[in-house]
Structure 1
Amino acid sequence: MTVQQPPIQTRRITVIGAGVIGLSTAHELATAGYAVTVISDQEPLETVSAVAAAIWFPYHTENSPAADLLLARSLARFEELASIPAAGVDLRPGLNVDHLPGADRSWTKIVANATEAPKAELPEGAHAGVYARLPIITMTTYLSWLRNEVEALGVKFIHGTVEDLAELKGSADLAVIAGGLRGGQLLGDAESVYPIRGQVVRLANTKKLTDWLCDDDYPDGVSYIIPRREDIIVGGTDTAHDWNREVDPDTAAAILRRATELMPELEGLEVLEHKVGLRPARDAIRLELVSGHQIPVIAAYGHGGAGVTLSWGTAQRVLDLVAEIH
């Protein structure tokens, strides 16, 4: 007797990881009618996604036509979500600074409102800059909202750790690996994934600042200032292969000094919190069907510092890949 596969709408899919990639993927799959379960040993607000500033910007990720499609799809979705106050997404103007000629501006072709900044409005020592109105995502609000949306679609959550994909046989027809830094462990790819340590300071936004500023090549280190609704995320660091999750006081002081030089309005704002996150980097994003397992597997990890930025595009690509599996 021939065993029939379940109808595509009822295919059981397990997503491993509850960060922004995992939740976005679960949302798109459930919306398409799949029966989705998310397995993670961390709650969304415990993941590195919760530390993100977060601004739509391709930070520390690959530059390719494939990545451009992910960026464009994500930008379109975040622009839609900005009309939903509860989602925690706001479109805000700001300035991205270039210190050297030939800086990568490929992202500007995706943004409809990017314009050249006048020289007189640039920080001292800057070569050029671009003004743009981009999505700013308050991650504590957004991750909680997204989880609620996913649960409303019928997605089930299991707190636990998958040690071997064989464990899923019988309970899942397909698995999606969206496990961030640990994404490669289940696929024998762990050595290709490495951390880029990011330390940030969270300030109270009592002055109701709205304009963001990013200066990746500031002489004394990367500096970004991302005002959100009630706070301001100030960064940062971008140290590759650094697993240290502890806050360094000297680094925090340097971050605040650089940021205040760039934006004097920060002077005197209350420090609410110091945070450290390890961005899950890889030389190239791994977003593909992986063969050789007892059930079909889709890899979706290695997004570097652009997990939020690429999240919806990644989720939609996963949906495309699922549709290709017969």
Structure 2
Amino acid sequence: MTAERTIVIIGAGVSGLTTGVALLEAGHPIRLVAEEVPGVTSLAAGAMWGPYLVEPWERVRDWSLASLSAFEALSDDPATGVRMVSGIEAARTHVPAPAWSGLLPNFRTCAPEELPAGFASGYRFTVPLIDMPVYLQYLLDRFQSAGGIVERATIQSLDAVERASAIINCAGLAGGDLAGDPGVRPIRGQHVVVKNPGITQFFSEDTGLSPDLLCIYPHGETVVLGGSAIDGEGDLRDDPETARAIVDRCAEIEPALATAQVIAHRVGARPTRVEVRVEAERLANGVTVFHNYGHGGSGVTLSWGCAGEIATLVATTTAP
């Protein structure tokens, strides 16, 4: 297959792998080219379904719903790393329900006694919680089982992609550079993975635009604790001071976390844009590139919806 012209996907994060699976299962020959497989930022994700500071809402709504349906189906198979988990999102002030609350049939307002001390409002709901190392390996296995080819390489220019009948730009932060789009910026995120002391429900705080996040995501034997959101920062080295602060914030909600064994530190740079870019563009050399980047902190939440739209665009766009 590698000697033939194929659709070439750039990037092996959750967007690239999901788009690859969608296109392969629609009958297209696919090569996926990436420097790191799977992508580091996707590996660092928490990850809980929920459209997080991402626009435009009209499209985000449909993409999120499509992904929600896909994850609900995947949660039936423990090997995917996807589970449906109940929990609470709360705030220390009175805040309205998020726009996406209407997408969840089980979304409800918390009674005051359900909230931790110091919190004024909150909501309980059940959503997909995704163990990203397990899930990305599942996607990679599904991609390769369907005939997808993986090549480890760094792509510096869309014009340099060889033997491509079309290109899918799922390169995350690098996607903006490849597209000549200066509107993509990193937002640094850090998580701490600890041994689970017995937590079964998630908790997250609505911290607005604060760089200091609070989230507790149980994944069976481990819990992912978060987090941070440093706008404009792309350094992927873990920061011990940030890690300690994350554990301390989470331990205020679940005291057993204060002494939980730390297993790993995960750092990623969310590829953020004013609006997610999912559209086709014809390059000067005649090849069509389909952009799928700029998902910010909602890459997992939008992954199946955006992949489905790319598959539709590929099917309906004439390529030479």
- TM-score (normalizing by structure 1): 0.91
Q: Return the alpha-carbon distance in structure 1 between the equivalents of residues 284 and 60 of structure 2.
A: 26
- Per-residue deviation, residues 88-124 of structure 1 (Å, max 9, x unmatched): 1111100011344444511111112111111221123
Deviates most, 93-102 or 300-309: 93-102
The answer to whether 1:27 aligns with 2:21 is: yes
Are residues 1:296 and 2:288 paired?
yes
| Native 8 Å contact 1:138 1:229 kept in 2 | no
Report the identity percentage: 34
Match of 2:60 in 1: 67
Residue 14 of structure 1 corresponds to: 8
Deviation sequence 1:24-82 (CA, Å, 0-9, x none) = 000000000001110001110x5210010111111232251100000000000000000
Kept in 2: contact 1:289–1:321 (CA 8 A): yes
Task: Give the aligned partner of residue 281 of structure 1.
Answer: 272
Counterpart of 1:81 in structure 2: which amino acid? L
**SS of corresponding position for 2:275:** coil
**1:254 aligns to 2:245 (yes or no):** yes
Moved beyond 6 Å, runs of 4+: none
Residue ranges of structure 2 left out of the alignment (5+ in a row): none
Structure 2 residue identity aligned to 1:17: G
Residue 269 (structure 1) aligns with: 260
The CA deviation at 1:264 is: 1.9
CA offset at residue 134 of structure 1? 0.9
What TM-score do you get using the length of structure 2 for normalisation?
Answer: 0.93
Q: For the residues of structure 2 that align with 1:220 and 1:144, how far apart are their CA atoms?
A: 30
Shift of 1:267: 3.1
Residue of structure 2 equivalent to 1:188: 180
The question of whether the paired residues in 1 share the 8 Å contact of 2:81 and 2:134 is answered with yes
Separation of aligned partners in 2, 1:110 and 1:293: 41
**Could you tell me whether the CA contact under 8 Å between 2:63 and 2:305 is conserved in 1?**
yes
1:167 maps to 2:157: no
Q: Distance in 1 between matches of 2:211 and 2:53?
A: 18
Q: What SS is found at the alignment partner of 1:289?
A: strand
Contact 1:13 1:36 in 2 (8 A): yes
**Alignment pair present for 1:239 and 2:230:** yes
Partner amino acid, structure 1, of 2:199: L
Q: 1:63 to 1:325 in 2, by over 3 A?
A: closer
Gaps of 5+ in 1: 1-9
* Aligned residues between the structures: 313
Per mean C-alpha deviation after superposition, the further-off stretch among 25-34 and 269-278 is 269-278
In the alignment, what sits opposite 2:308? Answer: 316
Report the structure, 1 or 2, having the larger strand content: 2
Deviation string for 1:279-326 (max 9, x for gaps)?
Answer: 111111011112343201111000001111111111001011112202
Partner of 1:278, secondary structure, is strand
> Do 1:17 and 1:179's aligned partners in 2 also have CA atoms closer than 8 Å?
yes
- From 169, 194, 218, the equivalent of 1:227 is 218
1:39 aligns with 2:33: yes
Amino acid across the alignment from 1:303: H
